[in-house]
Amino acid sequence: MNDSDSAGDGIRDIERVVIVGGGTAGWMAAAALSRFLDNGRRQIHLVESDAIGTVGVGEATIPPILNFNAMLDLNENEFLRATQGTIKLGIEFVNWGGLGERYFHPFGSYGQDLHGIPFHQLWLREQARGEPGYISDFSMSAAAAAGRRFGRPSREARAPLSEMLYAFHFDASLYARFLRGEAEKRGVRRHEGRIVHVHRHGESGDVASVELESGERIAGELFIDCSGFRALLIGETLGVGYEDWSEWLPVDRAIPVPTASHGSPDPFTRSTAHGAGWQWRIPLQHRTGNGHVYCSEFIGDDEAESVLMANLESEAIAERRVIRFTTGRRKQSWSHNVVCLGLSSGFLEPLESTSIHLVQNGIQRLLALFPDHPVSPIERDEYNRGMKNLYEDIRDFIILHYKATRRDDTPFWRHVAAMDIPATLQRKIDLWRLHGRIFREGAELFGVTSWVAVMLGQNVWPGRHDPIADTLDEDKVAQAMAQMRQGYRAAAMALPSQEEFLRAAGAWAASDVRPQPIAAR
């Protein structure tokens, strides 16, 4: 009996965890697992192949990443410097609700509720009788973004600055490298080489080891599949199927292209809708990330590239490549003794920057449910249930951006505006259309502010506001709202520009090296 087989029933501690893949998902998993598991008894191994490489995109995040960084004890300024990172306060959407329109989806919340009545209901009431201004005037993050400013709210910060919520943009390759440094410091062993064979236990069917081209075999009791779209363990080896969501999210290709920096970086992502998809713009310290995500049924690769090139702010600094994908998710995120994270577990287009969050959430969930050997189906099922809910909630929120459009200028927009949507989303839209009511259910990732931002930003107006908002005195509400608006504006104007902030904080990369345009090489 093993020392740790305390119950004497063959159940023991997991001693070796093998991570397959060294992209963002693999190194995030390695950094976090080594922080919590490598207590001398457990070994963590990571296998990656330079010959295969990583997808190398994925540059925008959402606020829960602050929690992941805190979990790893990362110094935020050091992290920003190492990844050429910038601050993200939300996303500016251009041409989504209608051509020529724009709105901002901010992090954080809108205004302050009064007497328990949600702020957006007060705003809707004011809207019905006067002109309260844009709803984004009532968000600290949106007000700072509009002024292209930032200041990190301290623990002692008071409202409205304390309401500012932020995330990051960073260079995905530098992020993986940074986390690799953290993981290796904590003893993670890296193996370079292509996996050519996966060995399974005859009886249980669990994965026993992976074999490299060199003949080296790496055995373990728990495997984390971070092999990207290949899904080497969860898909190819264990045969777990894929749920295809392209009937609702039909975009299936992306062309990423970095460009030279264009002035001081903005502290927000921009998403601009085109004829058959949309384009991202993510400003980093040393360059800008851009890419066109599109639906191949409605536009060819060459035309998609031309659209992208025609909408860049500065010269491209890398050649084009086309990434193909199918939106959807792996039917089980954990099967046998294999947990999949990252692109092997599914892909939702990067419209709301949720992929890295899904990796983070998968890691945190795994740590919360860390199993023994052999794995208990109870913990595995719990994990799968949570990941399914998270994926589906995000899916619905992303579909809303397509469904809620007045655009009918191209076959693509006519198609998505007319498509059927999941019943879960339809229920939310129906409820909103009556009295502007939105509730955050269970552990949903996107809260009331996010739904309100997209609904209003894309012209989905409720028939009327919640009648309970009428119980408050009109003049007092108008006065309180005017004060809030003024407070956000004044707090934003008192902040430095984001570049000034990063430089003063020591978060600006020391080497101000900006890559050269390909034309100049």
Main-chain dihedrals φ then ψ at residue 442, nearest 5 degrees: 50, -135
* Minimum distance, C-beta of residue 325 to ligand FAD, in the bound complex (Å): 6
Roughly what angle, to the nearest 10 degrees, separates helices 377-403 and 423-435?
50
Rounded to whole angstroms, the Cα distance separating 254 from 402 reads: 17
Main-chain dihedrals φ then ψ at residue 242, nearest 5 degrees: -120, 130
Give the residue among 350, 354, 372, 359 at the shortest CA–CA distance from 226: 359
Question: Closest CB to ligand FAD among 30 and 399?
Answer: 30
Identify the three-state secondary structure at position 432.
helix
Length of the chain: 521
Give the CB-side neighbour count of residue 491, counting CA atoms within 13 A. Answer: 26
- Cα dihedral value 101, 347, 400, 425, nearest 10: -170
* Minimum distance, C-beta of residue 342 to ligand FAD, in the bound complex (Å): 2
**Rg of the chain (C-alpha set):** 24
Give the residue among 108, 121, 67, 122 at the shortest CA–CA distance from 450: 108
Question: Closest CB to ligand FAD among 24 and 335?
Answer: 24
Sign of the C-alpha dihedral, residues 490, 495, 496, 498? negative
Question: Closest CB to ligand FAD among 54 and 259?
Answer: 54
* Minimum distance, C-beta of residue 280 to ligand FAD, in the bound complex (Å): 7
Question: Closest CB to ligand FAD among 23 and 132?
Answer: 23
Give the residue among 313, 266, 282, 291 at the shortest CA–CA distance from 142: 266
Question: Closest CB to ligand FAD among 47 and 284?
Answer: 47
Residues 6+ apart with CB under 8 A from 105: 90, 91, 92, 93, 352, 450, 453, 454, 457
Residues involved in catalysis:
88
* Minimum distance, C-beta of residue 97 to ligand FAD, in the bound complex (Å): 22
Give the residue among 81, 111, 107, 137 at the shortest CA–CA distance from 267: 107
The arrangement of strands across the sheet holding 43-48 comes to: 189-192, 43-48, 16-20, 222-225, 338-340, 334-335
Write out the residues near ligand FAD by the rule CB under 6 A. Answer: 21-26, 47-49, 52-55, 57-61, 172, 194-195, 226-228, 230, 232, 254, 256, 291, 323, 325, 342-344, 350, 353, 355-356, 359
* Minimum distance, C-beta of residue 263 to ligand FAD, in the bound complex (Å): 21
Question: Closest CB to ligand FAD among 114 and 351?
Answer: 351
* Minimum distance, C-beta of residue 61 to ligand FAD, in the bound complex (Å): 6
- What does DSSP say about strands 323-324 and 328-330: parallel, antiparallel, or unpaired? unpaired
- Are 394 and 348 a contacting pair, CB within 8 Å? yes
54-89 as b/e: b if 16+ CB within 10 A? bbbbbbbbbbebbebbebbebeeeebbbbbbbbbbb
Identify the three-state secondary structure at position 157.
coil
Question: Closest CB to ligand FAD among 212 and 417?
Answer: 212
* Minimum distance, C-beta of residue 461 to ligand FAD, in the bound complex (Å): 30
* Minimum distance, C-beta of residue 329 to ligand FAD, in the bound complex (Å): 13
* Minimum distance, C-beta of residue 435 to ligand FAD, in the bound complex (Å): 34
Question: Closest CB to ligand FAD among 121 and 333?
Answer: 333
Residues 6+ apart with CB under 8 A from 11: 5, 372, 373, 374
- Give all strands (DSSP E) within 83-206, no chain letters: 86-88, 90-94, 102-106, 167-169, 189-192, 195-200
Question: Closest CB to ligand FAD among 273 and 421?
Answer: 273
Tell me the three-class secondary structure of 352-396, residue by residue. Answer: HCCHHHHHHHHHHHHHHCCCCECCCHHHHHHHHHHHHHHHHHHHH
